[in-house]
């Protein structure tokens, strides 16, 4: 590890590793319901209108997030076209930049070995493997938060920073460096807000409070942040888009975007999800997989009184504290904590062999055996002929998990295992991701359904009468009446004119297709479709990722 970490090619190796994990399959797997197609469609609709201010989805205003992610996706569309590659390119690039940032500061804080191990570990954890490619606002926001946290470190602790290349004994050099970090801090605050709103500065603020009053409990030189002037810089960045957005939407971007999608989600459960104060501890084994096996090592580093470790502990704790108190809970919400976790973990792994490390290695062996058994089961279990595409998807997912385990084992073992283990693990993940993506593409309903009405006239109305996933709006290039009530659907059917409806006949958990359990659930079809004249119907079966169900749907058409 030392030779590899000290090489001048270490950042290139890290970039190659990230792209080998993230690029295969990224342009093949369909946009995953429900948020990916909403972002992708909103970006497309903004581009079609030539609008840089107000996002819309399905022809309706979309105030969920500020505009930066939509702008980035428009850039991706300019390179690759309006498809999966174009929508996901900004996320992949932000993920690569995030991993490089963790490496860069890890090298300067602790040394080449810690920096490289932290970067490789972050890149190979399951949550980043998934979210590091999705067309969402998360990765630009996480990158901004990470840059903010590093800038805070450079400004607040200049006398204690072996991680800085500046000569702090030289007043001129120190002042120039401080100015650069000051601008970096406040520009990142503004850009991060444009990516995903107030969480960008909530995490750093809570981190600083935890450091001051819990983990370090010593005064901090707040004046070095220049918060008054800095807030003006950040506000100027935000206002460049925010003021026109408030004018165009008559203030609704604030009342809906902040009032409903930030404040209300804090005390109201979103989409009927239940609240669990232990939710993020319960999802950590999957999110941090396979590195969760070595999580105790991250906390061993905290036994020292090093302010760097205490700062990382504050940073790690902040997102978990914020979102544990938040009513709406999703596993990826705590991703801003991951850079701190992997820097601490890399420090813990550098402490040498101990019982926690040996326990983690044993856990990896057990997990490998479990994944291998499941992989064989997926290959040999019979499937209904129409669901055969699920086999490469499930097998690819399990093989990718095995590849991530192999990468972790190679990094922990080091020495002669490092290079071949990394190469083999990354290759397995790349091939497996391609198989997973191909299987999901073949099974996707939303990518195949539009062919059934390709010749529909421009006057045709489209109604989701049971199947109304956002991905269908993206792939059909049509506006849909989605999430309509039964009365509204009946009224649309009764209205003369060409119309297309998609209903769900029955559905099942795809895992039950492998186990052979007959647990199909039948859905209700509007009675007027069954009795009305002039209708044609076509059936299709496939996977709906928005509901994690294998569904049999019917397309009803009246010209």
One domain, residues 130 and 183? yes
Per 3-state DSSP, what percentage of the chain is helix, strand, and coil (rounded to 5)?
Answer: 65, 5, 25
Number of domains in the chain: 3
One domain, residues 383 and 493? no
Q: State residue 532's pLDDT score.
A: 79
One domain, residues 330 and 419? no
Q: Under a CB-based contact definition with an 8 Å cutoff, are residues 306 and 161 in contact? A: no
Tokens linked to 396? 């690819």
Burial status of residue 162 (CB atoms within 10 A of its CB: 0-12, 13-18, 19 or more): exposed
One domain, residues 57 and 120? yes
- Helix orientation angle between 35-49 and 84-109, rounded to the nearest 10 degrees: 110
Question: Residue 416: which residues within 8 A CB-CB, separation 6 or more?
Answer: none
Q: State residue 290's pLDDT score.
A: 98
One domain, residues 294 and 324? yes
One domain, residues 101 and 44? yes
Domain boundary among 426, 443, 460: 443
Indicate whether 22 belongs to any domain.
no
Indicate whether 19 belongs to any domain.
no
Domain boundary among 299, 318, 349: 349
Encode the chain (559 residues) as per-residue pLDDT tens digits: 677 777 889 999 999 999 999 999 999 999 998 999 999 999 999 999 999 999 999 999 999 999 999 999 999 999 999 999 999 999 999 999 999 999 999 999 999 999 999 999 999 999 999 999 999 999 999 999 999 999 999 999 875 554 444 444 455 557 888 999 999 999 999 999 999 999 999 999 999 999 999 999 999 999 999 999 999 999 999 999 999 999 999 999 999 888 887 777 777 766 566 789 999 999 999 999 999 999 999 998 787 778 999 999 999 999 999 999 998 899 999 999 999 999 999 999 988 888 999 999 999 999 999 999 999 999 999 998 889 999 999 999 999 999 999 999 999 998 788 899 999 999 999 999 999 999 999 999 999 999 999 999 999 999 998 898 999 999 999 999 988 888 999 999 999 999 999 999 999 999 999 988 888 999 888 877 777 788 999 999 999 999 999 999 999 999 9
Indicate whether 510 belongs to any domain.
yes
User: Half-sphere exposure (CA, 13 Å, Cβ side) for 174?
Assistant: 13
Cα–Cα dist 33/134, whole Å: 11
pLDDT digits (tens, 9 = 90+) for 16-57: 999 999 999 999 999 998 999 999 999 999 999 999 999 999
Dihedral angle over CA of 324, 325, 330, 336, nearest 10 = -70
The 8-class DSSP code of residue 249 comes to T
Q: What's the chain's Rg over C-alpha atoms?
A: 25
One domain, residues 333 and 407? no
One domain, residues 53 and 112? yes
Kindly report the pTM of this predicted structure: 0.95
Indicate whether 11 belongs to any domain.
no
One domain, residues 329 and 235? yes
H/E element holding 267?
A: helix 265-267
Q: State residue 172's pLDDT score.
A: 52
> 389 is in which domain, residue-wise?
355-443
One domain, residues 55 and 185? yes
Indicate whether 338 belongs to any domain.
yes
Beta bridge partners of 60: 57
Q: Where are the beta strands (DSSP E) in 50-117?
A: 56-57, 60-61
Indicate whether 15 belongs to any domain.
no
Domain boundary among 292, 319, 349: 349
The 8-class DSSP code of residue 220 comes to -
How does strand 461-464 pair with strand 499-508? parallel
Indicate whether 17 belongs to any domain.
no
Cα–Cα dist 262/323, whole Å: 12
Indicate whether 183 belongs to any domain.
yes
Tokens linked to 506? 């029955």
Beta bridge partners of 481: 463
C-alpha distance across the termini of the chain, in Å: 67
One domain, residues 363 and 384? yes
Average pLDDT over the chain reads 92
One domain, residues 312 and 369? no
Q: State residue 165's pLDDT score.
A: 43
């Amino acid at each position: 590890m030392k030779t590899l970490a000290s090489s001048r090619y270490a950042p290139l190796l890290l970039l190659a590793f990230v792209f080998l994990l993230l690029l295969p399959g990224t342009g093949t797997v369909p946009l995953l319901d429900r948020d990916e197609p909403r972002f992708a469609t909103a970006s497309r609709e903004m581009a079609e209108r030539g609008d840089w201010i107000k996002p819309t989805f399905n022809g309706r205003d979309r105030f969920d997030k500020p505009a930066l992610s939509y702008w980035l996706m428009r850039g991706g569309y300019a390179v690759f076209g309006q498809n999966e590659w174009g929508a996901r390119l900004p996320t992949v690039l932000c993920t690569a930049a995030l991993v490089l940032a963790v490496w860069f500061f890890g090298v300067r804080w602790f040394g080449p070995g810690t920096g490289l191990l932290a970067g490789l570990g972050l890149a190979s954890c399951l949550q980043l493997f998934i979210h590091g490619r999705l067309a969402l606002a998360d990765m630009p926001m996480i990158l901004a938060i990470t840059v903010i946290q590093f800038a805070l470190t450079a400004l607040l602790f200049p006398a204690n920073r072996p991680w800085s290349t500046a000569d702090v004994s030289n007043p001129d050099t120190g002042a120039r460096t401080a100015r650069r970090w000051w601008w970096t801090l406040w520009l990142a605050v503004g850009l991060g807000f444009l990516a995903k709103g107030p969480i960008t500065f909530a995490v750093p603020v809570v981190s600083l409070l935890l450091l001051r009053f819990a983990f370090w409990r010593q005064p901090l030189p707040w004046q070095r942040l220049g918060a008054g002037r800095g807030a003006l810089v950040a506000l100027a960045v935000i206002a460049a888009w925010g003021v026109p957005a408030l004018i165009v939407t008559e203030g609704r971007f604030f009342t809906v975007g902040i009032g409903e999608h930030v404040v209300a989600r804090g005390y109201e459960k979103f989409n009927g999800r239940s609240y669990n104060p232990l939710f993020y501890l319960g999802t950590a084994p999957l999110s941090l997989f396979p590195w969760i096996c070595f999580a105790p090592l991250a906390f061993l580093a905290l036994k020292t009184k090093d302010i760097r470790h205490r700062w990382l502990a504050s940073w790690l704790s902040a997102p978990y504290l914020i979102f544990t108190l938040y009513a709406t809970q999703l596993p990826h919400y705590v991703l801003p904590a991951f850079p701190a976790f992997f820097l601490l973990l890399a420090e813990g792994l550098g402490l040498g062999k101990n019982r926690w490390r040996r326990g983690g290695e044993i856990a990896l062996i057990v997990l490998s055996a479990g994944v291998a058994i499941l992989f064989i089961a997926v290959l040999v279990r019979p499937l209904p002929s129409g669901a055969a595409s699920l086999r490469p998807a499930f097998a690819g997912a399990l093989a990718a998990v095995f590849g991530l385990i192999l990468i972790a084992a190679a990094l922990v073992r080091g020495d002669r295992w490092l290079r071949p283990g990394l190469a083999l693990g990354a290759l397995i993940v790349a091939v497996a991701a391609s198989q997973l993506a191909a299987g999901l593409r073949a099974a996707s309903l939303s990518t195949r359904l539009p062919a059934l009405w390709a010749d529909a006239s421009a006057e045709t109305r489209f109604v989701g009468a049971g199947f109304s996933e956002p991905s269908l709006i993206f792939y059909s290039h049509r506006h849909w009446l989605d999430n309509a009530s039964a009365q509204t659907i009946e009224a649309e059917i009764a209205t003369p004119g060409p119309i297309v409806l998609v209903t769900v006949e029955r559905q099942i958990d795809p895992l039950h297709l492998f186990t052979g359990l007959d647990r199909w659930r039948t859905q209700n079809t509007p009675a007027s479709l069954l009795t009305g004249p002039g209708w044609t119907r076509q059936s299709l079966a496939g996977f709906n990722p928005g509901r994690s169900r294998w569904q049999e749907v019917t397309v009803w058409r009246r010209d």
